[in-house]
Amino acid sequence: MNNLAQLLQHHADTPDKVLYRQWETQVGADAGWRDYTAGEVSALAARWQAAFAARGFERGDRIAICLKNCVQWVAIDQAALGLGLVVVPLYVIDNAENIAFCLGNSEARLLVLDTPRPLARLRELMPALPVVVCLEAQPDDLVDTPDTFLPPQGGAFEVQSLEDDTLATIVYTSGTTGKPKGVKLTHGNIWANIDASARVIRIHDADTALSVLPMSHMFERTCGYYLMLHSGVCVAFSRGIQQIGDDLAAIRPTLLLAVPRLFERFLARIEQAVSGSAIKGALLRYTVSTGWKVFLGEASALERFAHARLRRLVAEPILQRLGGRLRLAGAGGAKLELRIARTFIGLGLHMIQGYGMTEASPVIAANRETDNDPSSVGQALDNLEIRVSEANELLVRGPSVMHGYWRNPEATAKVLSADGWLNTGDIVEIRNHRIYIRGRSKDIIVLSNGEKFPPEEAEAALLDEPAFEQVMLVGEGRHFLTLVAVTQESDEKKLVRLANARLKDFPRYVRVRRVIASREPWTIDNGLLTPTLKAKRTRVLERFAHTIAAVYGEETGD
């Protein structure tokens, strides 16, 4: 039996074990952190199972979860998986149009929402909405609440026997172009990824993790939820990015998994804190420099001695801002800039990055604590085969690779071969079994002189320059490159110099001649980032189309 609900059932013998911690505000009570035991989560999941059964839900029916990370998310997911239902995770920050598409495409029978905020627009888009349960609904919202949908008591938490190839979830990718595609992942797919990931990092039931990524993101769902539940780690749900500092101080986690953008924020705060003092800035730089040499095994005896002293004086007070107990930080979901890894590793924090994609459940490769090259994404998981195509794209095959896209055989055929090889679309180099990401094949820029290159690696180098907050290179079919950047600097000549200083190690045709500067960040709300915080290249190009055209002296046709 390979039912993912065994992850919760596994804790039946220790019902008092604390598995989750979340911030709650109760009417008539003070707000604060509340612990949830294995017994409480199982009882809540059993109530959801009773509700599913009472409404005639059958194996294979789809239910959609559009909630912030919380105990209810876990309980609904485990309840559904235990009965063989299929979970469709949705982003609470997504727009109603995308949510409606995913509901309609998956033919979900149930939608569980945080708040009734998107309901009005959803009703306009979908005359026949599925059953809606809303955690924070009011009586006049015309939807169910947990109080009306769930019975007061459930029976025993049920975990049905399922085959490995039983569909567990349909995860809609937040692609930068076109409609989302529903990735079909089975119980066997995800179990294989959990098992292999558990051999990558050292975790145990005395650890505490702070959950900051949405569980609708497959990286968080597999590594931050399923893997932690598998190992008995207590997971605390962060209240949000604005409270992250307070949550780190309160929870004092030993594990933190996040996208690189979060570590960029941490680094920016550290740099801002020392910006007013030349002495503090110099001490920080020297601490990082000697710590990095220690990590590489290149430090002299004097440098090792100096770093041991500086670690107590400089590094430890900084790491206290991350709770003071953090022993391992994992970055995934996007490329980790070497500058960020170098800083935190130099301060003494174990930081590793991994690589994957939803279509592989999602982890494909990762560095290990004892084998860590921060410029790579590490070695492939030990149950996966990898090879490089003639176009230098990474191909992956193994038990965690998806069974295709939901009701989209054409899209499936484009990335998944008949013999099971998944084309990741990432251009890579493999040295000493380590994978080095060089860019995306579909994002290759071809200049008018025929020179071509994937912009992703160059863009990552540009982000090593503190003046640039977000960047995108453009120049397809043109004779020179232009950089579109979010920056607070307004001097274009200075920006061009800074950009090309970062690009000096690239071929000479990878040079910036013009910079289009904007102070407004690219966000999910303004439509320039996906829910997984990746730039929507097409939307960014559309936003700056007139300016780009003017740079190249082109007519826009308007």
User: In this predicted model, what pLDDT tens digit does every residue of 458-474 receive, in sequence order?
Assistant: 898 899 899 999 999 99
The answer, yes or no, to whether residue 554 has pLDDT greater than 80, is: no
C-alpha 499/C-alpha 468 separation (Å) is 9
User: Do 370 and 145 meet the contact criterion of CB atoms below 8 Å apart?
Assistant: no
| Span 291-318, average pLDDT | 95
The residue with tokens 């982003």 is: 91
The answer, yes or no, to whether residue 90 has pLDDT greater than 50, is: yes
Give the gyration radius of the chain's Cα atoms. Answer: 24
pLDDT tens-digit map of 395-445: 999 999 999 999 999 999 999 999 999 999 999 999 999 999 887 777 778
Please give the DSSP secondary-structure letter assigned to residue 225.
I
User: What DSSP string runs through 61-100?
Assistant: -EEEEE--SSHHHHHHHHHHHHTT-EEEE--TTS-HHHHH
Strands (E), 294-433: 328-331, 351-356, 363-366, 379-380, 385-388, 393-397, 422-431
Give residue 487's pLDDT: 95
Percent of the chain with pLDDT over 90: 77
User: Do 499 and 510 meet the contact criterion of CB atoms below 8 Å apart?
Assistant: no
Percent of the chain with pLDDT over 70: 97
Strand partners, 386: 396
Give residue 173's pLDDT: 86
Give residue 176's pLDDT: 45
Q: Which of these, 37, 380, 46, 44, lies nearest to 235 by C-alpha position? A: 37
User: Do 208 and 254 meet the contact criterion of CB atoms below 8 Å apart?
Assistant: yes
Task: Enter the tokens of residue 221.
Answer: 């769902």
Q: How far is CA 361 from the centre of its chain?
A: 12
Q: Which of these, 486, 440, 443, 439, lies nearest to 467 by C-alpha position? A: 486
Structural domains of the chain ordered from first start: 6-162+200-258 (3.40.50.12780), 444-551 (3.30.300.30)
Query: For residue 1, what are the contacts with CB-CB under 8 A and spacing of at least 6?
Result: 159, 161, 162
Strand partners, 426: 440
Q: Which region holds residue 142: left if phi is over 0, alpha if psi is between -120 and 50, else beta?
A: left
Helices assigned H by DSSP within 172-315: 187-198, 218-219, 227-231, 244-251, 260-274, 278-296, 301-310
User: What DSSP string runs through 140-162?
Assistant: GG-SB-HHHHS-S---SPP----
Query: Strand, helix or coil at 337?
Result: coil
| Span 72-91, average pLDDT | 98
Q: How far is CA 276 from the centre of its chain?
A: 33
Most confident of 46-50, 89-93, 336-340, 534-538: 46-50
The answer, yes or no, to whether residue 556 has pLDDT greater than 60, is: no
Q: What are phi and psi of 327, to 5 degrees?
A: -105, -15
Q: How far is CA 195 from the centre of its chain?
A: 20
C-alpha 150/C-alpha 127 separation (Å) is 25
